[in-house]
Structure 1
Amino acid sequence: MDDAHPDAGAPSAARRSDRAHVLHSWSAHATFEPLVVTGAEGAYFVDESGRRWLDFSSQLVNANVGHQHPKLIAAIQAQAAKLCTIAPYHANEATSEAARLIAEVAPGDLNRVFFTNGGAEAIENAIRIARLHTGRHKVLTAYRSYHGATALAITATGDARRWASEPGAPGIARFWGPYLYRSPFHAGDEAEECRRALAHLADTLAAEGPHTIAAIVLESVVGSSGVLVPPDGYLRGVRELCDAHGILMIADEVMVGFGRCGAWFAIDRWQVVPDLIAFAKGVNSGYVPLGGVIMRDAVAATFATRPYPGGLTYSGHPLACAAAVACIGIYREENLIERARRLGETVVGPALRAMQARHPSVGDVRGLGMFWALELVRDRATREPLVPFDASGAAWAPMAAFADACKRRGLWPLAIGNRLHLAPPLTIDEDALREGLAIVDEALATADRHCRG
């Protein structure tokens, strides 16, 4: 039985149709063999062979309240019976209530919501709003970042996923953000990394012309480019630089918002209020596509008498917004925000640090709440990555073997670059969480074999 694709026997109708007609994202269809999933519940999903998988990725870090939550399903069913769809130029109860609740949990005076169909579209509109508000054209983003795969969002992305789409949209300049383990600033501790990263950003602003810059876009906690938690003081420093130059601060909270980092929004940890927040994923756990931009009152005022030139047919879709209303209710009723913070501090963090002490392949451990990364290396002294940057094929084989070791034990991992990202549903049972961590611990033996010294 293939570790990654355990379906036995002749291909099912679902697999045959998939292979004949579906082009999957980020995949070459002639070589890609997807798992056929037939069901899911809580922290688990099931493939067509009947095998049950512990989902340590929340799919794409979106199923925050787990799979098939009955209250969320009931809310979608009730909304479908009442009003399935309506054009975005109308108002409706579900969309209005979702906006109210989102504004209620957002920091500061971020009180108005522009709804989109996902995170990339949220970034597109946040940048457009910032340009229209400031009358400036340029936007700064970090090199270690991912903001989505639509035209402007992929240009704003800093990592290698943008290469195939270049040349991209104009007006994007980049800077290096803090990353102490592989510091671009040769810092010795977090405080020094913070100071030097902010000095570098200030120099970049000066070189690009601050009067030309509409916004700085950054992930409050960098997501798929590394689970990089900024040092204390960094986001505050970015806020101060923005204020000094009339630049808007856009927090990309698509992956880390709505409890993932143990707060409604990850930026809340540092008590910084951005001008705009891009959100998606956790707002309704991906049950129906939804994203959006939350903006401060002063930004929203730009469009009080001047129409905002954006929006799509499904913006603020009633089914998606009804799911958001229910999902926010679930976060509150089940105390999931505080639970994520507690489990991160008392279970996940200690377990991963213990793995680091046992396994020479674990170079760094970092994270918050229910969002963590193990960075795997060949040599702790030199910090040589287990696989090279942007590795694929044979070069990525050590990470592939590690991921397969997790899968053999029934855990679905999120392996990116030389890292394992851990992002289980916030609702995961504590015993299941410990079981998954034990599987990761066992699987690390495959990575240890590549270590020197």
Structure 2
Amino acid sequence: MTAQLTETGDGHPGPEVAGAVPRGLPDDIAAVLRRPPVTAPVTDPDADAATRADDRGHVFHSWSAQSRIDPVPVAGGLGVRFFDDAGRSYLDFGSQLVNLNLGHGHPDLVAAIKTQADRLATIQPSFASDVRGTLARLIVERAGAGFSHVFFTNGGTEANEHALRMARLHTGRHKVLSTYRSYHGATAGSITLTGEPRRWGSEPGIPGVVHFSGPYPYRSPFHATSPEQETERALAHLSDVVTFEGPHTVAAIVLETVVGTNGVLVPPPGYLEGVRELCDRWGILLVADEVMVGFGRLGSWFGIQRFGATPDLITFAKGVNSGYVPLGGVVIPPAVVETFAERAYPGGLTYSGHPLACAAGVASIGVIERDDVLGHVRRLETEVFAPELTALADRHPVVGEVRGLGAFWAIELVRDRETRTPLVPFNAAGADLAPMLEIGAACRARGVWPFLAGNRIHVAPPLISTADEIREGLAAIDAALSEADAKL
């Protein structure tokens, strides 16, 4: 049910519970607001055509050459599937952008947003809000010992921006280190932190950011022959970078706990612990970017909890409320909070801790605990993902390696297993990208929407997926890879 604005006896608009749209709106506006929820495939050519026309005529899309795209109009979704206006259903095997942890149309999240909207739709961040304070407490409690506060943002890129700012102000230093194979966001600071090619178009970036090579055992930049050797050499390299940059100038090292878009790179044993020791040695803050892997993606509240290191700051977004309303933030320890006890923190956002977003976050944490989502993910890891993906790799010469944790995996594709030549070149575009585009099309033709990145298929379905739904998605990938094998 939605609130319809009607006229009350005193001439002021008042709420009326109704399923209709507000009265007196122009027809084209009312038509969009009048569309009913779509929880199963429905063919609606008129809606498809209207959405395409408005999108192509007026929406400027991110990371895209505008004349070369034709976005699919999405009508609705439920659980692990979403539906287009042409009547097709897709298994959402990438959780949209690895954020839809609890799936589409989750009734408890939707109800929380509706209830909060009826009570208090928005309030500026200088006031206290019960749902904002509750969510901050719940997050701190689940982050573990050593954390006390949360600074809320609208998403992951802003979370990393503010972590960078906090680290610099807390330490009085200006340099920040991050890896080449990383993505931290698209605003000025976070895109400079980003190491991958999406950074190039925004250069020159902010001063003081230095990149280094992180561990990647399958394609070791250190010519290591074992995970242990990869850890040892990667830490030696990082130590050299810090030494050459001057430890007294380095405020923070920012790492994705498990590298996301750039490969689902699980750190080898001892690496994160070694980075922690290095930071402690030189008074550097360790920032864990948990935008993708926080809130259950790895089967723990925060991905870092699956390793033996504790960061100084944790950034989050995406899974905190499955993206139902934009939300992100920084989890902060008392020492950093104390830095701003008597001087103002120089940063803020109009929508910091938006009540609708926080209500969805509170509900999300409740659902994850009530339904044992963390345990479910850990069981899926050992009983479904690991064995099924290992078997898939054994069947297909095009698969070089599978790797991952929890509900976060990558299938790395190669032209030759011996040479490990990638199926498509680094930063491929145009015709070079064709093999991956064909694999994506083959998956979608079988009703599965994959997440493709570089020469990899990333497997990151909603955390509520059943074993059968995961096997359904892997079966579509299996068939697509058979076609790729034949072409090679």
TM-score, normalization by structure 2? 0.90
Give the drift of 1:262. 1.1
Query: Among 392, 412, 415, which residue is 1:378 paired with?
Result: 415
Distance change (3 Å), C-alpha of 1:412 and 1:7: farther
Does the 8 A contact of 1:141 with 1:175 survive in 2? yes
Equivalences for 1:261-276 in 2 at 5 Å?
261-276=298-313
Give the drift of 1:429. 2.1
Q: Secondary structure at the match of 2:148?
A: strand
Does the 8 A contact of 1:398 with 1:450 survive in 2? no
Does the 8 A contact of 2:44 with 2:87 survive in 1? no
Q: Is 1:233 the equivalent of 2:270?
A: yes
Give the drift of 1:441. 0.9
Instruction: Identify which of structures 1 and 2 has the higher relative contact order when contacts are C-alpha pairs closer than 8 Å and 6+ apart.
Output: 1
Question: Residue 327 of structure 1 aligns to which amino acid in structure 2?
Answer: S
Gap regions ≥5 residues in structure 2: 1-41
Moved over 2 A (4+): 6-11
**Which stretch shifts more, 237-246 or 268-277?**
268-277
Query: Among 126, 129, 136, which residue is 1:99 paired with?
Result: 136
Question: Residue 250 of structure 1 aligns to which amino acid in structure 2?
Answer: V
Query: Among 68, 71, 77, which residue is 1:34 paired with?
Result: 71
Equivalences for 1:282-297 in 2 at 5 Å?
282-297=319-334
Does the 8 A contact of 2:293 with 2:303 survive in 1? yes
**Cα deviation code 1:151-184 (max 9, x no counterpart):** 1100000001101101111100011100000000
Does the 8 A contact of 1:363 with 1:380 survive in 2? yes
Give the drift of 1:378. 0.1
Q: Secondary structure at the match of 1:86?
A: coil
Query: Among 211, 219, 223, which residue is 1:182 paired with?
Result: 219
Does the 8 A contact of 1:361 with 1:379 survive in 2? yes
Residue aligning to 1:3: none
Give the drift of 1:363. 0.1
Question: Residue 396 of structure 1 aligns to which amino acid in structure 2?
Answer: L
Does the 8 A contact of 1:378 with 1:450 survive in 2? no
Q: Secondary structure at the match of 2:69?
A: coil
Query: Among 40, 47, 52, which residue is 2:84 paired with?
Result: 47
Distance change (3 Å), C-alpha of 1:50 and 1:9: closer
Query: Among 153, 157, 160, which residue is 1:116 paired with?
Result: 153
Does the 8 A contact of 1:110 with 1:296 survive in 2? yes
Question: Residue 260 of structure 2 aligns to which amino acid in structure 1?
Answer: G
Q: Is 1:346 the equivalent of 2:386?
A: no
Residue aligning to 2:109: 72
Query: Among 287, 298, 319, which residue is 2:335 paired with?
Result: 298
Question: Residue 486 of structure 2 aligns to which amino acid in structure 1?
Answer: R
Residue aligning to 1:206: 243
Give the drift of 1:107. 2.7
Give the drift of 1:7. 8.5
Give the drift of 1:449. 3.0
Residue aligning to 1:157: 194
Give the drift of 1:432. 1.2
Give the drift of 1:450. 4.4
Question: Residue 269 of structure 1 aligns to which amino acid in structure 2?
Answer: R
CA-atom RMSD, angstroms?
A: 1.2
**Which stretch shifts more, 294-303 or 241-250?**
294-303
**1 CA distance for matches of 2:483 and 2:405?**
26
Q: Is 1:195 the equivalent of 2:232?
A: yes
**Cα deviation code 1:36-82 (max 9, x no counterpart):** 00010000000001111000000000000011100000000000001
Question: Residue 137 of structure 2 aligns to which amino acid in structure 1?
Answer: R
Question: Residue 383 of structure 1 aligns to which amino acid in structure 2?
Answer: R
Distance change (3 Å), C-alpha of 1:8 and 1:113: closer
Give the drift of 1:120. 0.2
Does the 8 A contact of 1:399 with 1:447 survive in 2? no
**2 CA distance for matches of 1:240 and 1:64?**
32
Give the drift of 1:387. 0.2
Query: Among 272, 289, 293, which residue is 1:252 paired with?
Result: 289
**2 CA distance for matches of 1:193 and 1:63?**
33
Does the 8 A contact of 2:134 with 2:362 survive in 1? yes
**Cα deviation code 1:179-231 (max 9, x no counterpart):** 00000011111011001000100011101101000000000000001000001
Does the 8 A contact of 2:45 with 2:86 survive in 1? no
Give the drift of 1:304. 1.3
Q: Is 1:396 the equivalent of 2:440?
A: no
Q: From the CA coordinates, give the structure whose radius of gyration is larger.
A: 2
**1 CA distance for matches of 2:362 and 2:44?**
40
Does the 8 A contact of 2:299 with 2:375 survive in 1? yes
**2 CA distance for matches of 1:345 and 1:200?**
33
Give the drift of 1:446. 2.5
**2 CA distance for matches of 1:80 and 1:385?**
49
Does the 8 A contact of 1:107 with 1:273 survive in 2? no
Equivalences for 1:137-148 in 2 at 5 Å?
137-148=174-185
| Percent of residue pairs bearing the same amino acid type | 61
Residue aligning to 2:16: none
Count of aligned positions: 446
Question: Residue 311 of structure 1 aligns to which amino acid in structure 2?
Answer: G
**2 CA distance for matches of 1:287 and 1:221?**
24
Residue aligning to 2:405: 368
Q: Is 1:17 the equivalent of 2:37?
A: no
